[in-house]
Structure 1
Amino acid sequence: MAAGEELFDSILLADEKYRGEGFREGFQRGTRRGLQGGRRHGAAHGSRLSSEVSFYHGFAITWICLLDHGSDVKSRKRLKALEALLGLTRGYPLNDPQSVNLQNNTEKLRAKFRQVCSMLNVPTDFKEYVHTTEGTTF
């Protein structure tokens, strides 16, 4: 090969070489940023979900203590529903965020909470009473 052809080939190969290096570097940076963003999103979502489950747990325990001395039929039904809500919070898979039943368990928990609130004749919207801190980190 002539020197001119080698120079031309090196120019063509340089373009291809730098394009490939740029792609690999960009892909690595994007992967790192994606993982970081995913972790932040997961931590924030997990924090909100665990706060919600903790709220239901505390709600059930408080009402069980308040209704513990009632012996009429209505109080017994309320206690049974509260104990079912408490059982759902205790059986919630907080330690397994990849559980297949996580969404189903969340829906059951929220439905049971609404049922209990209806039985107790209390509102189901506690947004004014529950304050969450934005930017919670672990």
Structure 2
Amino acid sequence: MDDAFDKAANLEDEFEDVGYIEGFEAGKIVGHIEGREMGCDNGLGIGRDLGFYRGWVQQWLRAAAARPDFVSDRVLKKLTALQSDIDKVPMANGEGADFGERLKSIQLKFKAVSAMLGINAAAELPSTTLSY
């Protein structure tokens, strides 16, 4: 008789263990799908913003190369530093990538160079710029 009660008492633990394992496996699949979607959404925005900053800096550097008197040496140095920061952003997500901090730094430098050039940075930014 005790054997029947022991089996009934252990039944709850067995179901709990099986449910945990099944839930964990299902969660891995759902988490992978959600992570991919989130990565694609965020990656698209980051790539779009980096592309904007890269193109903006390249155009100003081309203009400065074509007409050396167009921008001061100080502005040219800041543009070159901004270009260097953009080039250092990794194109893959790995340890130490820290995209948020890198992009904030690039945004701040962009705003500073824009002010030095007498340009309204807010008017230059794409309307869908992410806030990092």
TM-score band by shorter chain is 0.7 to 0.9
Counterparts of 1:1-138 in structure 2, within 5 Å, are 4-72=1-69, 74-99=71-96, 102-125=99-122, 126-128=125-127
Q: Percent identity?
A: 23
Structure 1: distance between partners of 2:108 and 2:61: 18
User: 1:127 is matched by which residue type in structure 2?
Assistant: P
Structure 1: distance between partners of 2:76 and 2:12: 74
Number of residue pairs aligned between Structure 1 and Structure 2 = 128
Single out whichever of 21-30 and 100-109 deviates more from structure 2.
100-109
Structure showing greater Rg: 1
- Give the unaligned 5+ runs of structure 1: 133-138
Distance 1:17 1:101, change over 3 A: closer
- Give the unaligned 5+ runs of structure 2: none
Deviation at 1:91, TM superposition (A): 1.9
User: 2:54 is matched by which residue type in structure 1?
Assistant: H
CA RMSD of aligned residues (A): 2.7
SS at structure 1 position matched to 2:121: coil
Deviation at 1:60, TM superposition (A): 0.7
Query: TM-score, length-normalised on structure 2?
Result: 0.75
Deviation at 1:59, TM superposition (A): 0.5
1:70·1:76 contact (CA, 8 Å) conserved in 2? no
Structure 2: distance between partners of 1:110 and 1:87: 13
SS at structure 1 position matched to 2:120: coil
User: 2:120 is matched by which residue type in structure 1?
Assistant: P
SS at structure 2 position matched to 1:118: helix
User: 1:65 is matched by which residue type in structure 2?
Assistant: R
